[in-house]
Amino acid sequence: MTEERTLILVKPDGVNQGHIGEVITRLERKGYQIEALKVTQATDAQLRQHYIDKVDKPFFPEIESYMHEGPIVALVASGTNVISVFRRMAGQTNPSQAAFGTIRGDFGRDWPDGLIRNVVHSSDSVESAEREIKIWFAELK
């Protein structure tokens, strides 16, 4: 059991389709704390840092285009094992394969342009969370 925090992004499709409240509600219903929250526009520099392991992938321009489609909501949530539990709440990367009952399974879908839009991001480890929190919340310790 570990007290930890995670970086969650409600991506542009999640914001555009009105799922900010749902993501926050699901976090709060599970008993997690919201430590920080902002509406923002992702910059190129933030995306290159955030997706540092994907910058060289052929689909990185698709990620950039998707993440620039509109505002995002960045939040820091904390609680016991929040990282792994929220990853399960979010569901699999591809929203059409994500289980119903997960955020991606309930609100994500395939799009005719082939881009993978999957509503939310969440950190996958303590190290990633601390690195990602610095990218989106430079003002936080």
Ligand X SMILES: Nc1ncnc2c1ncn2[C@@H]1O[C@H](COP(=O)(O)OP(=O)(O)OP(=O)(O)O)[C@@H](O)[C@H]1O
| Minimum CB distance to ligand X smaller for 59 or for 111 | 59
- Please report where in the chains the tokens 């799922």 appear, as a residue: 19
Question: Which residues inside 50-89 make contact with ligand X, applying CB under 6 A?
Answer: 54, 59, 62-63
**What are the residues facing 76 on neighbouring strands?**
7, 36
Q: Does residue 19 carry a catalytic annotation?
A: no
Q: How far is the CB of 96 from ligand X (least distance, A)?
A: 13
Residues annotated within the binding site for ATP are: 11, 59, 87, 93, 104, 118
Residue tagged active-site, from 19, 50, 68, 121: 121
Q: How many helices (H) and strands (E) does the chain have?
A: 7, 4
Cα–Cα distance measured from residue 61 to residue 67, given in angstroms and rounded to the nearest whole number: 10
Judged by CB under 6 A, which of 121, 129, 133, 137 binds ligand X? 121
Cα–Cα distance measured from residue 33 to residue 79, given in angstroms and rounded to the nearest whole number: 6
Judged by CB under 6 A, which of 40, 65, 93, 125 binds ligand X? 93
Q: How far is the CB of 58 from ligand X (least distance, A)?
A: 8
Asked if 136 and 7 touch (Cβ cutoff 8 Å), the reply is yes
Name residue 1's amino acid. Answer: M
> Residues in the site for ligand X, rule: CB under 6 A?
54, 59, 62-63, 93, 116, 118, 121-122, 124
